[in-house]
Amino acid sequence: MVNLSAIGSSIMYILAGAYSDSRGNGKWGRRRPLAIGGVISGACMILVAFQTSYIMVFLLDVVLISIFANMVNASKNTVIPDIFPIEERGSINGKLFIADLVGTVLILVISMWAILQFHVLKQNIGGQNIDLKTRNRHLVIIISAGLITIIGSLTFFILLREPEIDFVPVHFKTALKNMFNLEEMKKHAKFVKFLIILVLLNIYRYMFFPYLIIFITNFAVNFYIIISILTAFCLGYLVASLKYGSWLNKNPRKKMTIIAVFISAIGFPIVSIFGDLSNLTLIGLIILSIAIFVTSFGFMSLEISQQTWSQDLLPKEERGKFSGILNLINTVSQIPGAFLGAWIYETYVFSGSFLGREL
């Protein structure tokens, strides 16, 4: 289901983006697919919570949510360049990442409450201790996510005011016909070059972050160490979202992207030298937290830079479709980094020849 959902989402993102480009056919602009997609995908999430049939879960999650959630994503990610000029997009994207962080924290709080409220202690079943997970826990989490999606989409629809377009929108069928037309791609050479840069950036990022999850779950045995790591990561995220966008508005995109890469590169090797954290000293914890902060700051700065730069390069008449192509390349290009990171992990970490410890 996860694989099919990822494939379906990538395809539907392009189709939904092309559909949002035909916004001139109605008075609601990109708000139309955003509102429709948000309400239906949120309703599907709520329905999923009550399903006991695999077929129904597959239909609702893999098919319908893939279609309608990507209508929301395609419209949301392309409406920024529709409304805001180039010199303001950096700070706007930074603020959007803060909103994303707030939403993520809200869901985490709801999830933690549900876990504590409906937790069943370990019971001995067949000679094994099993941590039973109650259905009420899943109901609260999934229904909350669905309601937040519906409310957020409707709020976006009500508050957003799109400017009048000064061109003839591309018809949906025409956009599909020219989806990967080589001649059309040649007209947007800068965008194609950006896709190549994106592939390279994703390789190094996704070499590291799967390892970070393993690092936290296997080495950070102390609750306070885990809290320190997560706090440092969130602070880096927040500071980058607040400040980096403003710096990006005042400086060339390429220059700021290179700076973000180097900032990330400072934190990565420092984090990697830490092994077992069970005997970590206070000084060591401070150094680790600083490294996590720097890494998070660099990562989020790169995300803001990438988002803003790509918005600048999206063709005005077909921003939705090209945003879908960007998302497809972004998704596929994560694979080489994950495989390379796994190879390094298997070769140097799991073997015990790196960091001096096996997991």
pLDDT digits (tens, 9 = 90+) for 112-133: 776 666 655 555 555 555 555 5
Q: Are residues 32 and 135 in the same domain?
A: yes
Q: What is the pTM of this model?
A: 0.70
Radius of gyration (C-alpha) of the chain in whole angstroms: 22
Percent helix, strand and coil across the chain, each to the nearest 5: 80, 0, 20
Q: Taking 70 as the threshold, does the pLDDT of residue 30 lie above it?
A: no
105 shares its domain with 191: no
- Supply the CATH number for residue 104's domain: 1.20.1250
Q: pLDDT-derived band of residue 216, with 50, 70 and 90 as boundaries?
A: low
Axis-axis angle for helices 189-219, 334-344 (nearest 10): 40
Instruction: Tell me which of 249 and 351 has the higher pLDDT.
Output: 249
Print the domain residue range for 158. Answer: 1-179
Same domain, 62 and 152: yes
pLDDT in tens, 39-78: 998 999 899 888 878 888 888 887 788 778 777 777 777 7
Which of 158, 179, 200 delimits the end of a domain? 179
Q: Indicate whether 104 and 234 sit together in one domain.
A: no
| Per-residue pLDDT, 128 | 58
User: Which of 128, 147, 179 represents a domain boundary (last residue)?
Assistant: 179
Based on the domain organization, do 164 and 219 belong to the same domain? no
Residue pointed to by tokens 């419209």: 75
343 shares its domain with 208 = yes
Residues 239 and 299 sit within 8 Å (Cβ to Cβ): no
Domain count, the chain: 2
Same domain, 42 and 174: yes
Strand partners, 119: 133
pLDDT at 209 (0 to 100): 65
CA 165 from centroid of its chain's CA atoms: 29
Look at strands 123-125 and 128-130 and give their pairing: antiparallel
Residues 357, 223 share a domain: yes
- Write out pLDDT tens, residues 191-205: 888 888 777 777 777
Backbone phi and psi for residue 254, each to the nearest 5 degrees, phi listed first: -60, -45
**pLDDT over 50 at 357, yes or no:** no
Q: Residue 243 contacts by C-beta under 8 Å, 6 or more apart in sequence?
A: 94
> What local confidence, expressed as pLDDT, does residue 54 receive?
82
pLDDT tens for each residue of 295-332: 889 888 888 888 888 888 877 777 777 777 777 777 77
pLDDT of residue 122: 55
Res 284: pLDDT: 77
